[in-house]
Chain A
Amino acid sequence: MLLIITVILCIGIIISALLAIYLNNMISIVISAGLSGLFASVTYVMLAAPDVAMTEAAIGSGLTTLIFLYAINKTKCKDDINDY
């Protein structure tokens, strides 16, 4: 049972990482990159590493996502606004 959940979570990491590569919308890319961090943090809990899971959840999926969003917001060009 534990193995099945872990495998499903790992598939979730891979899918959200692929989404982050292949999507076109900047906001969706950042959100799916954060989602892969969230899946990774749950995987760490399943693999009995709660210390690492806390760091990953707070930094990998929380702070990094927000910093990317701020950076995208600051560097947005008026010409290609349809890309975002």
Chain B
Amino acid sequence: MTKILSIKDLHVDVGNTSIVNGLNLDISSGETHAIMGPNGSGKSTLAKTIAGHPDYKIRSGTIMYRDHDLNDLSIEERSNLGVFLGFQYPIEIPGLSNTAFLKAAINAKRKYHNLGDLSASDFLVDLKEKSRMMDIEQKFLSRGVNEGFSGGEKKRNEILQMLMLEPVLSILDETDSGLDIDSMKVVASGVNAFRNENTASLIITHYERLLNYITPDYVHVFHNGAIIKTGDIQLARDLEEKGYEWLTNP
């Protein structure tokens, strides 16, 4: 078991507002962590900070990803080294087909690691299998990235991208919001297929529902930009029953 992510006393500002305040979190390979918390507690800020979004400034503290200080790496380097962010609101890119986009992403990563382009046939075989697994029809793949996709299709497409890019650390930002129960099961099966002893997941969610299908090793409760309680799946169940009030306002 090796350490994949190590966050020490992290403070993050957006504009002049401090959103993350003194966060500590360690994630090792093979682990799945869930972060829960009320709206505005800083969960999505954490996800975007790890991915390197330019609007989120680290005021102090460090995020180590394996041997790298993430602050030294560009957005695309983080990705090419295995950090994946499943977006809460996946972006549409009209006219650029999902297939072309995925191929560009995979080949960018391969280039970063000094590998040649993936052969078209290997790529298509892999894509066919994984899109079937995520219940995405072939015709969707030739449409523009997320163009005209329903909420559920967009989220399943995020998981498809994750499976295709084979990251080490997958951060899923409210991937369950707006999903019906069937789509949620499909998303969960994708995430479970990704779990193995070499990878790690950080799942950000409001609700316990998704965690019934993806059992996390740890559940953290986020409040005012820091973790105020850590437990296991039982903590998520308690939250579902009692709300956040008993923790945030004892």
Are both chains from one complex? no
Please report B residues at the A interface, Cβ cutoff 8 Å: none
